[in-house]
Amino acid sequence: MRKLLILALLVLPLLALPAAAVTPRTRALLPVHIFGWPADTPALERLGLPLVEDACEALGAVHADGVAVGARGHPAVFGFYANKQLTTGEGGMVTVGDPALKERIDAERNQGRAPNMDWLDHDRLGFNYRLSDVACALGLAQLTRLDGLLADRARAAAAYREALVGIDGLGLPCADAGGHVRGWFVFVVQVPRGIERDAVVERLRARGVASKPYLPAIHLMSYYREAFGHRPGEFPVCEDVAARSIALPFFPGLTEGQVGRVAEALREALFS
């Protein structure tokens, strides 16, 4: 497993394809559909390497060619944690195109039992990665409302965009564009250069609005610094984006009034 070199690619729109990062040791690619934006999977497919998609944040997202994220046939994982588009509290889902791989995953998550096996017989080593029945009941109930939940998130995002678009220098998340449909997960803005992000978070808090620095640059997290010696300056674009990003309150039931209140508080927090 250690020999398996997986490139974790945060593939953002308009970035040049990182084909140059592929080496003879590259075994697979792991595109992340970050914040619900469809990674350029079709372009990565052309590199001819196996793909495993991290679609944890991207339920409801659709590629420009009309294929839903996670439906291209590569193994793709979705997260159902409480902040996701659909939740079972914890856990998630794997989508696959290959029936043999599905059978293997079904067996390995179920303590190594094959589908046609008798009770308490195992034909391989497995794990217990099962969702509980209670979690599944929650997820199935959410599934019946999924279209509405996704539409509500898109509506909340559109309301934010309208309320924030005039703020000088504020970076907004891209909406549906170029035929891609976003599966709205979070609403993350970037404070203008020269404004201290953490002070903005604090000033929002003082105005009764919860927000979070989101996401930190992974390579600068303590573990990656200590285990792999990563240092600031290695990925300047990522570090700049991470240092200026704030996640605003975002959930399907967000009202226009609440969006207006957050927008007003953000305006004051940025420029007062």
3-state per-residue secondary structure call for the chain: CCCCEEEEECCCCCCCCHHHHCCCCEEEEEEECHHHCCCCHHHHHCCCCCECEECCCCCCCECCCCCECCCCCCCEEEECECCCCCCCECCEEEECCCHHHHHHHHHHHECCCCCCCCCCCCCCCCCECCCCHHHHHHHHHHHHCHHHHHHHHHHHHHHHHHHHCCCCCCECCCCCECCEECCCCCEEEECCCCCCHHHHHHHHHHCCCCCEECCCCHHHCHHHHHHHCCCCCCCHHHHHHHHHEEEECCCCCCCHHHHHHHHHHHHHHHHC
- The piece of 53-61, 127-135, 198-206, 247-255 that touches ligand PLP (CB under 6 A) is 53-61
Residues 89-148 binding ligand PLP (CB under 6 A) are 92
Query: What would the x/- binding string for ligand PLP be over residues 76 to 95, using CB under 6 A?
Result: ---x-x----------x---
Residue 53 in contact with ligand PLP, rule: CB under 6 A: no
Residue 32 in contact with ligand PLP, rule: CB under 6 A: yes
Q: How far is the CB of 117 from ligand PLP (least distance, A)?
A: 27
Q: Quick one: 56 or 59, whose CB is closer to ligand PLP?
A: 56
Q: How far is the CB of 161 from ligand PLP (least distance, A)?
A: 22
Active site residue 84: yes
Q: Quick one: 81 or 271, whose CB is closer to ligand PLP?
A: 81
For ligand PLP, the binding residues (CB under 6 A) are: 32, 54, 56-57, 79, 81, 92
Active site positions, annotated: 84
